[in-house]
Amino acid sequence: MIDLLADLHINVYFALGTAYFLLLSLSNVLWLRMSSRRPRKTTGPLVSVLIPARDEEDNIGRCLDSLVNQTYENYEIIVLDDQSTDRTWNIISEFAHNYPELVKVHKGKKLPESGWTGKAHAMQQLSRLAAGEYFLFTDADTAHQPESVAWAVTNIEAHHVDLVSGYLNHELETFGEKLIVPAMYIMTAFLMPLWLIPSTKTPAFSFAIGQLIMFKRSAFEAIGGYSAVSERISDDIFIVRELKKAGYRAIFLDISDYVSCRMYTGYTESMNGISKNIFDFFKHRPLFFAIALTLLAIFTLLPLYLLIIRLLAIDARTPATELSVLLFALAWSLTLYDRGSRWWVPLLYPVLFLHLLYMTWRCFGKVAVGHGIVWKGRGIR
């Protein structure tokens, strides 16, 4: 009887937890679908579109092609070649030649030996070259619809915020990308109520993705720009926290109709890309982060394991366990469906979370023994 009660309590806790996940996922999907305003602004304050580019010869041409014909009239494009070793400089120089009034290109300074990560250093240099009232940072592997700049201006002004970011349309082409990259949606599926970001002053309720972030210049400069997060790999998430600490407002929306991005190409690059962000969290709060991700993996995988064991044992006492598995699958499927994933991608969640657990403890081991990881030819420690 005691074992039965204990078993019942565990399953009820799992069911309640996964019910919360489903409600959070649903609320975030509704927020993303209902809160983004259509781009109506065609002119206004000068927008500086700022693009850091390091070894981006395969991407930067598509990015600039998509940005040179925007519906928003008052903007400039500044590209920083961040010590590239490929043809990036040649490509961006050609755009500067063809669009001399719109596109400006600069050679980036050498990365200091300490105190800065590569991307934060490039972003800070870009901000010093910009003349705009708004800074629109975007990655070199993005592709923009003609209304993307207008979308950013419309939403930062309509929501009366100092920063806007959001989910792009993420292009996942290989099986490895479909297996690993959806891990980035865990934050909004299970952890972060997006609707609390603009309505609270608490820095913990902050989220952004560096593929596209627009700042009001005044707010950006008030916090010292990227110098406030100069050593963070996940500079996008932490700069929003710095912004909110200083009393400014931010918002996270859906940008998928206006900007696309293929973050990584294949399994290895996807694993290294996601791992670098996990590694960043471990550098500052290693044990807490390792335990948190492990508990999340256990919480999502254990009910499925128990269900399989009981079905194999022909045990009829499984309604709470079945409910836990069903609610979690619904929450994860809802999030991935909203992000445009194929119908079968949510079914990979047991493998995805097991693989995430592997990456988590792999990064924890690298931090513990003092090893780093390599990204874009630079060692990160």
H/E stretch holding 29: helix 2-35
> pLDDT value at position 339?
93
Computed over every residue of the chain, the mean pLDDT equals: 87
> pLDDT value at position 36?
96
DSSP per residue, 211-240: TEEEEEHHHHHHTTGGGGGTT-SSHHHHHH
Q: Cα–Cα distance between 134 and 125 in angstroms, integer? A: 16
Please determine, for residue 273, whether its predicted confidence score (pLDDT) is greater than 80. yes
> pLDDT value at position 205?
94
Domain ranges of the chain: 2-30+271-380, 37-266
22, 331 contact by CB (below 8 A): yes
> pLDDT value at position 144?
98
> pLDDT value at position 80?
98
- Residue 249 has, within 13 A of its CA and on its CB side, a CA count of 13
Domain at 37-266, CATH homologous superfamily? Spore Coat Polysaccharide Biosynthesis Protein SpsA; Chain A (3.90.550.10)
Model confidence at 372, in pLDDT bands (50, 70, 90)? low
> Whose CA is closest to 125, among 138, 115, 111, 139?
111
Comparing 197 with 117, the larger pLDDT belongs to 197
Q: What are phi and psi for residue 375, nearest 5 degrees?
A: -140, 125
Across residues 15-39, what is the average pLDDT?
Answer: 92
User: 11-25, 115-129, 222-236, 251-265: which range is least confident on average?
Assistant: 11-25
Across residues 294-311, what is the average pLDDT?
Answer: 70
> pLDDT value at position 4?
40
> pLDDT value at position 54?
96
291, 361 contact by CB (below 8 A): no
State the Rg of the chain over Cα: 22
Highest average pLDDT, of 135-139, 186-190, 264-268, comes from: 135-139
Tokens of 308: 């399989």
Across residues 264-278, what is the average pLDDT?
Answer: 84
Model confidence at 316, in pLDDT bands (50, 70, 90)? low
Model confidence at 275, in pLDDT bands (50, 70, 90)? confident
Question: Could you tell me which residues are beta bridge partners of residue 317?
Answer: none
> Whose CA is closest to 76, among 105, 107, 47?
47
The Cβ of residue 14 has, within 10 Å, a number of other Cβ atoms equal to 22
- Residue 233 has, within 13 A of its CA and on its CB side, a CA count of 22
Question: Could you tell me which residues are beta bridge partners of residue 143?
Answer: 260
| Triad 345, 307, 309: Cα angle to 5° | 115
What is the residue type of 330? Answer: L
> pLDDT value at position 231?
87
C-alpha distances (whole Å) from 169 to each of 239, 255, 258 are 22, 7, 8
Across residues 109-118, what is the average pLDDT?
Answer: 89
Sign of CA dihedral 346, 192, 155, 213: negative
Across residues 290-305, what is the average pLDDT?
Answer: 70
Model confidence at 268, in pLDDT bands (50, 70, 90)? confident
